Amino acid sequence: MPRFPSPLSALSGYGATWSAKGRILAGALVLTVLLAVAGLAAWATGSSARDHDGSTVPSPSSASPSEAAPKPDPGSGSVPKPPQISDPLAYAKAAAVMLWSYDTRATSRDQQLSGMNAWMTKETKYTDWSSLSAQVPDPVLWSRMADNTQYATAKITDARYPSAFKQALADNPSAINEAYIYAVTVTGKQHITWKKGGSGAEDRSVTLAAQCRPSHDCSLISIAPRVAP
């Protein structure tokens, strides 16, 4: 069966450029044990493939430039609402399912962005919305995806704290108490379906930064540009 890349680069790999704010934020969080993703493994790579009838599938590299958080509320379409979870690992699992699942048959691009933004922390000091929005294809590519009636589901197989994060936390346990941001690496499998009976499945991995303050529901901070082992 031919390999089929995800139409969302956030769902298929992590080759999109992180924003300047994101790089600065990541560096600060590493130093304070809030993210600990600097110096991690190589970029996760997307795969190349062709669809069922041999035509080229939209490339995940065609992600749109980062953009401001959506102001109007067009609804969230098929994007699930963030769960009321205070455990970083459980929240990261749910967030990965959200990132790796989509349905262009029922969700517009604006709805996709709006639904994703609902998962982000409201603490603007820490939020890195551009790390998510930059992964969403531009309107033309999204339209092509919709023409192919593409949709995806995801199944999580593992969620864990990266070794660098655990070591940094062990070295300075109190540092987490400032912003309560946790790095979590999630792995799983994404199944993609498109018209004419086309389908494919690929393994996925992502490192997320989730904020989980005591007695508060978790929220999403950013997607790391590299997968932390």
pLDDT beyond 50 at 34: no
CA 59 and chain centroid, separation: 17
Query: Encoding tokens for residue 122?
Result: 């409201």
Query: Encoding tokens for residue 105?
Result: 């048959």
For residues 206 and 100, what is the distance between their CA atoms, to the nearest angstrom?
10
pLDDT tier, 75 (very low <50, low <70, confident <90, very high otherwise): low
pTM of the shown model: 0.73
pLDDT of residue 76: 61
Write b or e for each residue in 194-206: b if 16 or more Cβ atoms lie within 10 A of its Cβ, otherwise e.
Answer: beeebebbbebbb
Among 51-55, 125-129, 172-176, 182-186, the least confident range: 51-55
pLDDT tier, 169 (very low <50, low <70, confident <90, very high otherwise): confident
Give which of 220, 35, 216 is closest to 120, Cα–Cα.
Answer: 220
Q: What is the pLDDT of residues 191-218, one digit of tens each?
A: 999 998 889 999 999 999 999 999 999 9
Among 97-101, 150-154, 175-179, the least confident range: 175-179
How far does the chain reach from its first CA to its final CA, in angstroms? 29
Place of tokens 């769960």: 83
Average pLDDT, the chain: 74
Give which of 28, 32, 40, 2 is closest to 224, Cα–Cα.
Answer: 40
pLDDT beyond 50 at 224: yes
pLDDT beyond 50 at 29: no
Reduced to 3 states (helix: H, G, I; strand: E, B; else coil), residue 109 is helix
Place of tokens 């399912």: 97
Mean pLDDT across 161-170: 89
